[in-house]
Amino acid sequence: SAVISQKPSRDICQRGTSLTIQCQVDSQVTMMFWYRQQPGQSLTLIATANQGSEATYESGFVIDKFPISRPNLTFSTLTVSNMSPEDSSIYLCSVDSGSTDTQYFGPGTRLTVL
């Protein structure tokens, strides 16, 4: 499976600011996914990012709030914009295996908004 890293691993931010989370993979992958996991809840898909095209957002998530970049086949960023305490969560990126629909997850970014 691919080796996935995320930066930062955690951050504490002030209300109204923005944070960009980076996801780096050690091999080329077609699809990258961004999830949110709020305390005590399961994973919720925010968007799917393919290289060379705009991200596809799930219901309840909009590009203005969660802009995503996918400049190449090994890297993606998720920005959490104009943050509020409700955005406090763990943000995870994942990648597909390439041969099956299995997904592998990065270590996650723990975000706290004050």
Q: Footprint of other proteins on this chain (CB under 8 A)?
A: 1, 31, 41-45, 48, 50, 56, 92, 96, 100-108
Minimum CB separation of residue 31 from other proteins in Å reads 6
Q: Which is nearer to other proteins, 1 or 17 (CB)?
A: 1
Q: Which is nearer to other proteins, 56 or 82 (CB)?
A: 56
Minimum CB separation of residue 81 from other proteins in Å reads 23
Kind of pairing between the strands at 10-13 and 109-113: parallel
Minimum CB separation of residue 82 from other proteins in Å reads 26
Q: Which is nearer to other proteins, 39 or 85 (CB)?
A: 39
Buried b (16+ CB within 10 A) or exposed e, 101-113: eebeebebbebeb
Q: Which is nearer to other proteins, 11 or 96 (CB)?
A: 96
Minimum CB separation of residue 50 from other proteins in Å reads 8
Decide: 12 and 108 in contact? Cβ < 8 Å: no
Decide: 48 and 55 in contact? Cβ < 8 Å: yes
Decide: 35 and 41 in contact? Cβ < 8 Å: no
**Cβ neighbour number for residue 39 with a 10 Å cutoff:** 7
